[in-house]
Homo-oligomer: A and B are copies of this chain.
C-alpha cells in the first residue's frame, strides 16, 4: 500500500490542529470542573439541551451521542441524577426506555457554560479556520 506524499507542512498542520483541539478540550474541562461537572457530564447535559424539539433523550441516545457504551452512559446519568441535574422517567410509549430530562439547575449551568464556550470558540475560530484551510 503506497501513500501519497506528505510534506513537513502537513505534519506541522496536523500537529497544530490536534494541539488546538487539546487546548479547547482543556478549556472546556476547566469550565466544567469549575462548576462541579466532569467533562462527560457536561456533554450529557449539552446533548439533551442541543437536541432540537426534544425535551428528553433516552439512555441509549445519550450513549450514541457521546460515543460511549450504554453502561457508561448509565453511570454518567446516575451521578447527574444524584447531583439533581437530570431526572429519569420511563418512556410511556416504551417502558424499557428511560427518558432523561434536565432540571432547572442544569439549565442554569448550561447557560453559563455554553456562553463561555461560545466566547472561547469565537476566539479560536480564526485559528481553526486557518488550520482547516491548510489541510
By a beta-carbon cutoff of 8 Å, the part of chain A in contact with chain B is 1, 3-4, 6, 8, 10-19, 21-23, 26, 43, 46-47, 49-52, 65-67, 110-112, 114-115, 117-118, 121-122, 125, 128-129, 132, 135
Contact = CB atoms under 8 A, between A and B. Distances in A.
Contacts of A26: 67
Please report whether the interface of chain A is mostly helix, strand, loop or mixed according to DSSP: helix
Number of copies: 2
Given A67-B23, A118-B135, A50 B14 contact: yes
Contacts of A4: 115
A127 B65 CA distance: 17
B135 A65 contact: no
B6 A47 contact: no
A17 B117 CA distance: 11
